């Protein structure tokens, strides 16, 4: 027990030691007042996700990645912008379209790619795959494959942080109690699950500091939002019906996300209240890697590509004098190299030993748990 505590304490504090803000959200009211380094980091993170995802698609087509694989391009500003508004030890949980959140949280491209390649160096040792990204050190609690399964869990993380603050009186790593906010991401398809309504009801009833971030990309697989949810133009009224703050935000402009989202984070943290954010965004690729996209036109996709969030931030930064064309080019090149290196490393890494099949089933493996298998303790996770 004590050994484990020490270990987690160390990893929590060292994980993002290189981060510009030492893991703390910036305090500026307006994104334009943020230090240049933070704005450039956003651009870098968004471009990293873009490049990573483009290479993920290639690798998938080369059959290096199996299973279902959901690409995040188009939505980069959402993960980077919202995660940029919280502290590093605020819990984050999301659905299966999770590569962007993992990278924005600080998971290395190598751990993320290796997971999809099914390698031991993957964030879950190759046991979770694309839809189940977990990173304890970076307070990422999944990657969940069942639509809306993560929404009651979001309330549960908020419950736990509130409990530690109010009942235990200490933080998870044994320090002074802090007020935390949980970010729980969801697709518009998750709006329609009963679990989400139960979660909102309890979060509001019990004053749980969780923010539901609806990544409203207009489609649940091939079903457009007007065909899958009632009164879809007025979703924030639902939140208000539960007594929660509800705000609609343009999710294509990261500076705007910061300006609108940051005050909500601060308020939820301070007042221990839930909120619901309808973040308008768009996905460039099909639902998963096997989607012929008969349900939307190329024109529609192109219209959104014209409003690309990365191009917008890059040009804003140039206008502000924070970035030159050359800087931008060399940043893109650096990222290309980084992702290529991640792919090479993932490729070179070992597949899990067959014996890994029977580890991590139980934290306390006992005799006779199975008639056919011998469960063992897991080998060390590369991220821990």
Ligand X SMILES: Cc1ncc(C[n+]2csc(CCOP(=O)(O)OP(=O)(O)O)c2C)c(N)n1
221 binds ligand X (CB under 6 A): yes
145 binds ligand X (CB under 6 A): yes
Is 144 within 8 Å of 93 (Cβ atoms)? yes
Is 243 within 8 Å of 178 (Cβ atoms)? no
Which residues 279-308 are close enough to bind ligand X by CB under 6 A? 287
Q: Which two tokens stand for residue 375?
A: 């469960």
Q: Which two tokens stand for residue 311?
A: 């191009």
142 binds, among ligand X, other proteins, Mg ion, none (CB under 5 to 8 A by kind): other proteins
User: What is the CA 305 to chain-centroid distance, rounded?
Assistant: 22
309 binds Mg ion (CB under 5 A): no
Site size toward ligand X (CB under 6 A) is: 15
Q: Name the minimum Å distance from CB 141 to other proteins.
A: 6
Find the part of the chain contacting ligand X (CB under 6 A) among 19-27, 139-147, 317-325, 328-336. 139-147
287 binds, among ligand X, other proteins, Mg ion, none (CB under 5 to 8 A by kind): ligand X
Find the part of the chain contacting ligand X (CB under 6 A) among 10-18, 106-114, 181-189, 313-321. 181-189
Closer of 145 and 207 to ligand X (Cβ): 145
188 binds ligand X (CB under 6 A): yes
Among 60, 117, 134, 219, binds ligand X (CB under 6 A): 219
Q: Name the minimum Å distance from CB 227 to Mg ion.
A: 12
Closer of 194 and 371 to ligand X (Cβ): 194
Burial of 140-166, coded b for 16+ CB within 10 Å and e otherwise, reads bbbbbbebbbbbbbbbbbbbbbbebbe
Instruction: Specify which residues 275 forms β-bridges with.
Output: 211, 245
Closer of 167 and 306 to other proteins (Cβ): 167
Q: Which two tokens stand for residue 330?
A: 């060399």
Q: How many other CB atoms are there within 10 angstroms of residue 286's CB atom?
A: 18
Q: Name the minimum Å distance from CB 176 to other proteins.
A: 11
DSSP state of 127: S
Closer of 5 and 303 to ligand X (Cβ): 303
Q: Where are the alpha helices (DSSP H) in the chain?
A: 2-14, 36-61, 76-83, 99-105, 109-116, 150-163, 194-205, 225-228, 235-241, 254-271, 298-306, 309-319, 325-348
217 binds ligand X (CB under 6 A): yes
Closer of 222 and 243 to other proteins (Cβ): 243
Among 220, 259, 281, 381, binds ligand X (CB under 6 A): 220
- Three-state DSSP state, 117: coil
Ranked by CB distance to ligand X, the top (closest) residue is 187
155 binds, among Mg ion, ligand X, other proteins, none (CB under 5 to 8 A by kind): other proteins
Is 205 within 8 Å of 158 (Cβ atoms)? no
- Three-state DSSP state, 26: coil
188 binds Mg ion (CB under 5 A): yes
190 binds ligand X (CB under 6 A): yes
Distance (Å, whole) CA 133 – CA 289: 18
Contacts of 173 (CB under 8 A, 6+ apart): 5, 8, 9, 12, 13
Q: Which two tokens stand for residue 110?
A: 């190598």
Closer of 137 and 287 to Mg ion (Cβ): 287
Do β-strands 182-187 and 219-220 pair in parallel, antiparallel, or remain unpaired?
unpaired
Find the part of the chain contacting Mg ion (CB under 5 A) among 110-118, 152-160, 165-173, 209-217. 209-217
147 binds ligand X (CB under 6 A): yes
Contacts with ligand X, residue ranges (CB under 6 A): 70, 97, 145-147, 187-190, 215, 217, 219-221, 287
Contacts with Mg ion, residue ranges (CB under 5 A): 187-188, 217, 219
């Amino acid at each position: 027990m004590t050994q484990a505590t020490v270990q987690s304490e160390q990893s929590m504090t060292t994980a993002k030691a290189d981060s510009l803000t030492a893991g703390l959200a910036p305090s500026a009211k307006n994104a334009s007042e943020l230090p240049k380094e933070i704005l450039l980091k956003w651009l870098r993170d968004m471009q990293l996700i873009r490049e990573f995802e483009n290479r993920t698609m290639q690798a998938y087509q080369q059959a290096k990645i199996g299973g279902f694989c959901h690409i995040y391009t188009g939505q980069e500003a959402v993960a980077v912008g919202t995660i940029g508004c919280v502290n590093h030890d605020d819990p984050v949980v999301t659905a299966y379209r999770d590569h962007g959140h993992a990278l924005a949280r600080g998971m290395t491209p190598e751990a993320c790619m290796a997971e999809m390649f099914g390698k031991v160096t993957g964030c879950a040792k190759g046991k979770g795959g694309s839809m189940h990204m977990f990173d304890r050190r970076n307070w990422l609690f999944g990657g969940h494959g069942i639509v809306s399964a993560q929404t009651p869990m979001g309330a549960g993380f908020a419950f736990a942080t509130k409990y530690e603050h109010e009942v235990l009186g200490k933080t998870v790593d044994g320090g002074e109690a802090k007020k935390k906010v949980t970010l729980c991401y969801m697709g518009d398809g998750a709006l329609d699950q009963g679990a989400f309504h139960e979660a909102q009801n309890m979060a509001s009833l019990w004053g749980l500091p969780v923010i539901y971030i609806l990544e409203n990309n207009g489609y649940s697989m091939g079903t457009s939002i007007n065909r899958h949810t009632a009164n879809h133009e007025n979703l924030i009224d639902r939140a208000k019906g539960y007594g929660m703050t509800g705000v609609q935000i343009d999710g294509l402009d990261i500076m705007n996300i910061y300006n609108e989202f940051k005050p909500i984070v601060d308020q939820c943290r301070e007042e221990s209240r839930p909120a619901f954010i309808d973040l308008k965004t768009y996905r460039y690729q099909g639902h998963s890697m096997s989607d012929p996209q008969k349900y939307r036109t190329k024109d529609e996709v192109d219209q959104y590509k014209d409003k690309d969030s990365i191009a917008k931030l890059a040009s804003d930064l140039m206008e502000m004098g924070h970035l030159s064309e050359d800087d931008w080019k060399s940043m893109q090149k650096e990222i290309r190299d980084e992702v290529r290196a991640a792919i090479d490393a993932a490729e070179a890494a070992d597949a899990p030993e067959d014996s890994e099949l029977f580890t991590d089933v139980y934290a306390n493996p006992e005799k006779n748990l199975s008639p056919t298998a011998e469960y063992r303790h897991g080998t060390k996770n590369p991220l821990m």
